[in-house]
Amino acid sequence: MTISLASTDALLIVDVQNDFLPGGALAVPDGDAVVPVLNRYIGLCDRRGLAIFASRDWHPENHCSFKAQGGPWPPHCIAFSRGAAFASLLEIPCSAGIVSKAQSADRDAYSGFQGTNLEALLRARGATRLLVGGLATDYCVLNTVRDALARGFQVLLLRDAIRAVNAQPNDGDRAEQEMLAGGAHPIAFCDLES
């Protein structure tokens, strides 16, 4: 099955930041494997003139999701730190829109739509279908896809460009099943008309 891209498609790259890669503060196993695959999607979408957005966790030092504040996670993605930077090999074009989330100390946001203007940015570009990949399948990708579907966007889930934390075994599989049951359509790069 070949999928043709349309001008109403947009690429949404979720949280591909150093702290979520192997060696980072909150590493997703095999997380760096998404980078070369996402670069292929970026290249294709950029050549087609499609909108490209990248979300990022962008926390203050005392963020509520950190263990010292009673949250579940070690400190990660502190704004302007090296750990918060996008993966150095990720080829995000300068024209891409950057969406920072969970910037206030008292709120966390797994979804790129939560507390951001992402929906308005997508609507302004005329996007109706989103190609979504990044990290991690069972947290920020899942919640971003949930919110996209709830807002009426179609979603192509880039199954070759996501990786899961799997804090509990099979969390990633369960997240994928939920996204597909909710209406997301799974694809791999080879499914796209080049």
**Which spans of this chain sit near Zn ion (rule: CB under 5 A)?**
57
The dihedral built from the CA positions of residue 160, 37, 10 and 113, taken in this order, carries a sign that is: positive
Stated as kind and residue range, the H or E segment containing 134 is strand 129-135
Question: In angstroms, what is the minimal distance from the CB of 101 to Zn ion?
Answer: 8
Catalytic residue among 45, 101, 108, 147: 101
Which residue number places its CB atom closest to Zn ion? 57
140 is a catalytic site residue:
yes
Q: Which is nearer to Zn ion, 83 or 172 (CB)?
A: 83
Q: Which is nearer to Zn ion, 103 or 128 (CB)?
A: 103
Task: Say if CB 115 and CB 44 are below 8 A apart.
Answer: no
64 is a catalytic site residue:
no
Which amino acid belongs to residue 194? Answer: S
* Spatial separation of the C-alpha atoms in residues 135 and 25, rounded to whole Å: 14
Q: Which of 148, 141, 122, 118 is nearest to 34 (CA)?
A: 141
Question: In angstroms, what is the minimal distance from the CB of 162 to Zn ion?
Answer: 17
Catalytic residue among 9, 15, 57, 138: 15
Q: Which is nearer to Zn ion, 63 or 159 (CB)?
A: 63
101 is a catalytic site residue:
yes
Active site residues: 15, 101, 140
